[in-house]
A = this chain, B = another copy of it.
């Protein structure tokens, strides 16, 4: 069993209305030092496959097919052995 952590973030060139909304709220709370906020998705998966290479390969395929929109998003995948 393997644990995969997938970080999906908007490409830098893509406008982030959600991030801007969070920034405005933080300013309204007095956190004036905040210059930029980008909001992304974090997915934590448990995958039952024979080895780590297969886990990595499958999670990348999941990103390409479902978890990330390649037009506006980029993703990173990290895989580790799940505690027995």
Seen from chain A, the residues whose Cβ lies within 8 Å of a Cβ on chain B are 1, 7-9, 19, 22, 25-26, 29, 31, 33-49, 58, 61-62, 65-67
Task: Give CA–CA (A10, B44) in the complex, Å.
Answer: 11
> Per a CB cutoff under 8 Å, which of B36, B40, B41, B58 touches A33?
B58
Is A22 touching B67 in the complex (CB atoms < 8 A)?
Answer: yes
In the complex, the count of this chain's copies comes to 2
Residue contact B58 to A9, C-beta cutoff 8 Å:
no
Output the least CB separation between A38 and chain B (Å): 4
Please state if B66 and A48 are interface contacts (CB–CB under 8 Å): no
Q: Are B34 and A45 neighbours in the complex by a CB distance under 8 Å?
A: yes
- Report whether B33 and A49 are in contact in the complex, using a CB–CB cutoff of 8 Å: yes
B-chain residues with CB within 8 Å of residue A29 when the two chains form the complex: 62, 65-66
Residues of B within 8 A of A7 (CB): 42
